[in-house]
Amino acid sequence: MTLPTASAILLLAALQPSTGTAQAPDTQAPAENAAQATADRPQSAGPQTPAFVAPVNDEARFDACMDLATDDPATGIVAANEWLMTGGGYFARHCIGYAYAKDGRWSAAADSFVAAARDAERAHDSRAANLWTQAGNAALASGDAVRALGHFDAALAQGVSHGLLLGELHLDRARALVISGQPDEAEVAFAEAHRLVPEDPLAWLLSATLARRQGKLERAQGDIDIAARLAPRDPEVALEAGNIAASAGKYDIARRNWNQAIDIRPDGPVAKTARTHLAQLDDVQPSSAGPEAK
């Protein structure tokens, strides 16, 4: 129900029958009366921002939106925006971000995930941490590691306590720190990831790669050995094992690992890189430094 304004209340009061002593007639001129009415009228404080209302958690519609975004990202973007216009809130924004990501539009995906994360925070929804994480990964995929770090830090600020999720978040931060040229900080983040998710081979693979690039070959070898134990059929692990061996001058071991990378997945991009390294190794003399792995 809409409450009457102050002017309307005064008008209604003036129309009520008098029950007391008759009042003297108002002798003010009409212009003066109008000026007084204007002065008495409450002044507007300007347009008001609507109060935030958390959207209804329509899981069926969210699942349908995500399925559509997976199968047809362009159509998914349209459908998710229609849902947003009818009150889908951060659930719809999440779907929009996912659809953009599926379409390879990483910067737009990051923007949508950020908007969803902020609204989820306002609703005190624990999904905010995951949305900030997705925003960070989208920003990282777009090539903006500094922006990604800000989003990952926002996710950490949500108080993620689950070991697996927290460990993966530290791993994501480590990746962003490496790309942004902060190797020392990345080492710390990798250490946290190893502590929280010690069975994640990707974390060990990436920390081994960082250690090799820093010239810390003993640490690199230790990390890649763990990665190989956890993922013995991963061609990227075999490739990096060869890179570390080559950096240490152990060319026979490097050759064996690069051949293994090819055998695991002969037609993949890792096999192509391994073949390039082998060709370089064939061209160098035993006394030379060997191929420089990147």
Q: Domains of the chain (ranges plus CATH)?
A: 199-294 (1.25.40.10)
Give the number of other CB atoms < 10 A from CB of residue 196. 19
Residue 240 has pLDDT above 80, yes or no: yes
pLDDT band at 98 (very low <50, low <70, confident <90, very high): very high
Residue 269 has pLDDT above 80, yes or no: yes
**Regarding predicted confidence, which is higher, 212 or 284?**
212
Residue pair 100/137 in contact by the 8 Å Cβ criterion: no
Residue 30 has pLDDT above 90, yes or no: no
> What's the pTM?
0.76
CA 238 to chain CA centroid, Å, is 30
Residue pair 164/131 in contact by the 8 Å Cβ criterion: no
Residue pair 278/255 in contact by the 8 Å Cβ criterion: yes
**Percentage of residues of the chain with pLDDT beyond 90:** 73
Residue pair 247/217 in contact by the 8 Å Cβ criterion: yes
Residue 286 has pLDDT above 60, yes or no: no
Residue pair 62/95 in contact by the 8 Å Cβ criterion: yes
Q: Which helix (H) or strand (E) holds 74?
A: helix 73-83
pLDDT band at 290 (very low <50, low <70, confident <90, very high): low
Q: Which helix (H) or strand (E) holds 65?
A: helix 59-71
**For 217-238, how does the pLDDT look when each residue is reduced to its tens digit (9 = 90+)?**
999 999 999 999 999 999 999 9
Provide the pLDDT for residue 56: 78
Phi then psi for residue 188, to 5 deg, are: -65, -45
Residue spans of alpha helices (H) in 123-267: 127-141, 145-157, 163-179, 183-196, 201-213, 217-230, 235-247, 251-264
**89 vs 121: CA distance, rounded Å:** 12
Provide the pLDDT for residue 291: 59
